[in-house]
Amino acid sequence: MTRLQANRFSRRSFLGRTIGMTVGLGALAGLVACSQTAAPASPTAPATSGTAAPAQAPAQTNGAAKTVNLVWSGWILDQNPIINKLIDNYAKETGVKVTTSSAPDDLQQKVLLEANQKKSTWGGWEGHTAFLNTAPLVAANALAPFDSYLTEADKKDLLPTSIAEVTYKGQMYEFPFRVSPMTMIYRPSILEKLGYQQPPDSWDGVFELCEKAKANLSTSGKPFYGIVIWSTAWYGLWEVMETLTPEPFDTNAGLANMDIPEATQAMDIMKKLYSYAPTDTLSTDPTNYFQSGNVAMMLIYVLQAQRVKKALNGDVRIGRVPKTAKAQGTIFWSSGANLFADYGNVEDAAKFWLWLSNQKELYDSLWVQNGSPPNRLSMLQKFNDQKGKDLDPGFWDASDMQAHSQGIPNSLWIATQAKYTKSETENYLLGKTSSVEQAIQAIKKQTADEIAKQKQ
Amino acid sequence: MSSQTISMRDPSFGSVLRHALRYAGPLVRHALLLFFVVVILLPLIWVVASSFKSIPELYRVPTTLFPTEPTLTSYQFVLTQVPKLPQYYENSLVVTSVSVVLAGIIASLAGYAFARLNFPGRDQIFWCLVISIFLPTSITSLFAVYELTDRLQLLDTWFGLILPYTAGALIVSTFIMRSVFSSIPGELQDAARIDGCNTLEVFYRIMLPLGAMGIVVITILNFVNIWGDYLLARTLTYENARTLPVEISLLQPQTGDWHFNTVTAAYMLMFGPAFLVLVALQRWFLRGLSEGALKF
Amino acid sequence: MANAIGTRQRTLVGRRFRIRGEYLVGYAFIAPLLAMFVVYHLYPIIRSFTMSFTNFKYLQPQGTHFIGLANYQEAAESPYVQHGILLGIEYMLIYIPLAMIIALVIALALDRVSQHFLAGAYRTIYYLPVIMPGAVVYVLWKWMYIPSFGLINYVLVDTLHLLAIRPQWLGSPDLALPSVAFMEVWRLLGYNVLLLLVGLGSINRELYEAARIDGASELQLIWHITLPLLKPIFLVMMVLKMSVFAVVEPMLIAPGVGDSTWTWGWYAYDQAFLEGNLRMGYASAIGYLGALIMSVFVYFQYRLFRHERA
């Protein structure tokens, strides 16, 4: 034990060592944690490099080159490498360098948090969808409007329905790039077997097709479904309402109008459609069924057509939703760019967005191929030469449908109403609610209650 | 007491029966165990097999367990189309390792103190800590931790995750280390003290080496728990510090090419290596557990 | 409380200083732990408790003021919270017995496997899902539960023909919650088995020998020796598993149709992080209401446990 005796510490050195160790460990841990190569430690620093592989921006240099940090909904970046090329072009033209970041899934929340602290990591976001994002962001003073950056030519280049869609409290908070309308996606081979060239243009016709499908194509082991539907408000109830009346939304209240007779009719139609759909269409991803090959049609937005094409070897088309004498519309939403108010040079961001919206290559590679038309009418015309050729006829239908539709209002409460619309639609379809009136009443009451609570 | 009236009366039949029963016992036993092995392994096999399926085959009804035309397209997709994959890996690794190391150090120090040192309030503090495990406040505390992390500007940073993870792991780890240290004979400590060691020396010269098994146990325990944590990671991060489990749960089929084959391929790439390492370490861990780290 | 060391030290010179020095060392050793505990365990409890008496909304903190028991009242009257609590109870009643019984059966069988290597192999295999991150397991099962091409129906309907119709699992309002519960049972199987094995291992083998000599059959051994001696551990495990009443994670990742998996724990999380202005005040009230109910359960379990012990 003499070795131990020889190695004794004095009390002073013990304290010194302990403190030294703690400080050392703390410093090490701090060093490790703060030396994040990819992330800013606090959201205040605007000159952050993008985290996606494509673009790496230099730190912001004063005077020499201006930098604008923009965030993009992830899948747009991933599938559209053309953006990097365009960014380089823009840098050559104007000397402004744009950096790209990929948006996290709860970008909305992050933006709201930053707005609370009066700062913003990014100048704008591509992938902003007006009815989902605008109202809460404006309420938190997170957004800057586009109006002052738009020329008369820009405004004329958009359909009135597009402009109405992105306007909130008299100002435009999004510049729409492309439209996603709800459509009737179908299997041409299956419809042909049943004797149709395209989806029926009335709901009764749709029911008839479903009946035929069930009767002719179901086998004992493998049921066949005429259609799959979603219970989400804007894929389901509101969509059907749009096909029944030109104005299903009450823009003053900022909600879908549940008092009109079309609301009840729409719910009835949903119930009837559900009877032709697999029962778990409400919970699992309905495209699974579609991709398995035993469904004739699906009532969903255009981009899903591209997604399901692989599994079906291309046997997928975009078609029109049913219409009536009164209404020929469909639910649509435009995804586009916005501006974050707390960012330094919002003007540069706005200029870039507007420039980008005029670049044909952007639309070529991703959106147009998948049936999502541009909002800019001048851009839409540039694809005229492809009419009847490569582009799916549904592409032109989509644009036409949108022109006859009422956009979903931007409001603080639309998301709340959507939530209860979904759950009450499901309850009704599953038979938990016995009557349509009850279902509609439930939607109204729960929406009103929750709005009251949120306002407290 | 015995209800086996057959055995005594009829030797020949009874002995045959007893012979049969002697084998029937193990037979039933192993059949049962094998059944559950299948129950456990089948989903895992399905995951691996699905990652090699092509999209049309994936959706075919009736489905198959193994792909008839295996393909590597999903792996290709994940490796080329997910530029942030290495970053998620990095996040998970850093956050988990630092938390585990920190928790190990703090728990050992504290465990030793509770086991062998003397100071007023020692036992009261310890039982306070133990009781906190049983408080059903995990959800509500999450809200306050979120607010705290935001105030400290640590949202979406590594440290923002490391600190809560360490704190969460500490209580049980301390408990285990305390019991480990308690089981080391006190005479060793006394002997060292007599020879003039002060407390810190006793700690790291004698206690730590002897308590190494406990440290291994809590290290693996914490690693598994923190590596696989979802709630905290999802709530406290957005994009920069997102960890692997959260990312994989968010690979929704709604957009892009995320079908089940790519999701499983992503899973294999994200967790495969760690999984194998953990399986290899399981022997150690289980041994340590049964050797009495869990002394209640 | 062994004071041997302390008394020895006290007899040396500089008695008072020695004592204080030793106490200081003790506190120094537990200081980091205490710091973490206070910041991340104690403070959050207090903060969320006070939060529950205000109308705090995270994204709109400006108008926060004290509103007394209004949140609790609203929570108690809310049909979502009430339904959520019922779902929590249902989940508990499905998960705990299922998990414990299956684990018990396996542990009993595994305990008697004599080949060391084989037993180790079984144990490792059962433990595999436990080391997988929970989130991944849930994603997996979400896909497995897909009625058309998921594994569950593939095995039960297509291969083994045990069922004639294809159950909708997560898509069926009645089957959704049990499906989620079974998912958890599968995941934690190895862990439960392990704990029971440790408990079984602590039973003295000689008791078995003695009983076997007396002519007891295997089943009688289990019934009269193993189970009674296992009871303490079993009951402790059951009490610990009470925390599943507050389950959140599985239904975040693998939800059922409609509100079939909206447990109160999930609903509190939803109100605090996913909905609108993030009403954390209200969510905290839901959380504490649920915690109160859970404490009642635990208390009754504990009473039962005490009774059994006696």
The full set of domain ranges for chain C reads: 70-309
A446 vs A62: which has the higher pLDDT:
A446
Which of B168-172, C98-102, C274-278 comes out lowest in average pLDDT?
C274-278
Does residue A422 sit in the same domain as residue A287?
yes
Does residue B60 sit in the same domain as residue B104?
no
Question: String of b and e for B6-40 (b: at least 16 CB within 10 Å)?
Answer: eeeeeeeeeeeeeeeeeeeeeeebeeebeebbeeb
Number of compact structural domains in chain B: 2
Closest residue to A423, CB basis, from C168, C258, C277: C258
Percentage of residues of chain C with pLDDT beyond 90: 30
Mutate to test the interface with B, among A3, A15, A32 (most CBs of B within 10 A): A32
Does residue A80 sit in the same domain as residue A224?
no
Closest residue to B150, CB basis, from A52, A113, A293: A113
Q: Do C39 and B40 touch (CB under 8 A)?
A: no
Query: Which of these, C157, C131, C140, A312, lies nearest to B50 by C-alpha position?
Result: C140
Does residue A327 sit in the same domain as residue A449?
yes
Q: Which residue has the tokens 């035929």?
A: A212
Does residue B26 sit in the same domain as residue B126?
no
Closest residue to A430, CB basis, from C55, C59, C258: C258
Q: Identify any residues that bridge with A97 across adjacent strands, giving them in sequence order.
A: A67
Sign, CA torsion B118/B124/B130/B133: negative
Does residue B126 sit in the same domain as residue B177?
yes
Confidence at residue A338, expressed as pLDDT on a 0 to 100 scale: 93
Percentage of residues of chain A with pLDDT beyond 70: 83
Does this complex have an ipTM over 0.95? no
Query: Mean of the pLDDT values across residues A247-257?
Result: 92
- C-beta atoms surrounding A332 within 10 Å: 28
Does residue B255 sit in the same domain as residue B279?
yes
Does residue A121 sit in the same domain as residue A162?
yes
Query: Mean of the pLDDT values across residues A238-258?
Result: 93
Instruction: State which of B46, B74, B102 marks the end of a domain.
Output: B74
Instruction: State which of B50, B74, B98 marks the end of a domain.
Output: B74
Number of compact structural domains in chain A: 2
Confidence at residue A2, expressed as pLDDT on a 0 to 100 scale: 42
- Angle, helices B122-134 vs B85-116, to 10°: value is 140
Does residue A345 sit in the same domain as residue A417?
no
Does residue A199 sit in the same domain as residue A340?
no
Does residue A76 sit in the same domain as residue A125?
yes
Whether A5 is in a domain gets the answer no
Query: Which of these, A233, A426, C133, lies nearest to B228 by C-alpha position?
Result: C133
Q: Which residue has the tokens 């029963």?
A: B21
Region of residue C62 (left: phi > 0; alpha: psi -120 to 50; beta: else): alpha
**pLDDT confidence tier of residue C236, bands split at 50, 70 and 90:** confident
Does residue B250 sit in the same domain as residue B187?
yes
Please name the residue of chain A whose CA is at the shortest distance from the CA of residue B150: A113
Does residue B104 sit in the same domain as residue B163?
yes
Domain containing residue B58: 5-74
Does residue A308 sit in the same domain as residue A446?
yes
Residue B166 belongs to a domain with what CATH number? Answer: 1.10.3720.10
Does residue B103 sit in the same domain as residue B58?
no
Confidence at residue A46, expressed as pLDDT on a 0 to 100 scale: 30
Interface of B with A in 74-133 (CB under 8 A): 81-84, 87, 90, 94, 98, 102, 105
Neighbouring chains of B at 3+ CB pairs under 8 Å are A, C
Does residue A190 sit in the same domain as residue A156?
no
Q: Identify any residues that bridge with A333 across adjacent strands, giving them in sequence order.
A: A180
Query: Which of these, A443, A437, A456, A442, lies nearest to A416 by C-alpha position?
Result: A443
Region of residue C70 (left: phi > 0; alpha: psi -120 to 50; beta: else): alpha
Q: Which residue has the tokens 């406040």?
A: B137
Chain C within 8 Å of B174 (Cβ-Cβ)? yes
Residue A192 belongs to a domain with what CATH number? Answer: 3.40.190.10
* Residue numbers in chain B where pLDDT is lower than 70: 1-24, 252-257, 283-296
What CATH class has C70-309?
mainly alpha
Does residue B56 sit in the same domain as residue B163?
no
Does residue B223 sit in the same domain as residue B271?
yes
- Please give, rounded to a whole number of angstroms, the shortest distance from the CA of A42 to a CA of chain B: 6
- Cα(A69)–Cα(A339) distance, integer angstroms: 11
User: What H or E segment, with its residue span, contains residue B72?
Assistant: none
Does residue B130 sit in the same domain as residue B10?
no
Domain containing residue A281: 181-333+410-455
Does residue A142 sit in the same domain as residue A223?
no
Please name the residue of chain C whose CA is at the shortest distance from the CA of residue B271: C132
Does residue B21 sit in the same domain as residue B122?
no
B127 vs C216: which has the higher pLDDT:
B127
Which of A423-432, A444-453, B263-272, C182-191 comes out lowest in average pLDDT?
B263-272
Neighbouring chains of A at 3+ CB pairs under 8 Å are B, C
Closest residue to A4, CB basis, from B83, B195, B250: B195
Rounded to 5 degrees, φ, ψ at A45 are -70, 115
Confidence at residue B25, expressed as pLDDT on a 0 to 100 scale: 73
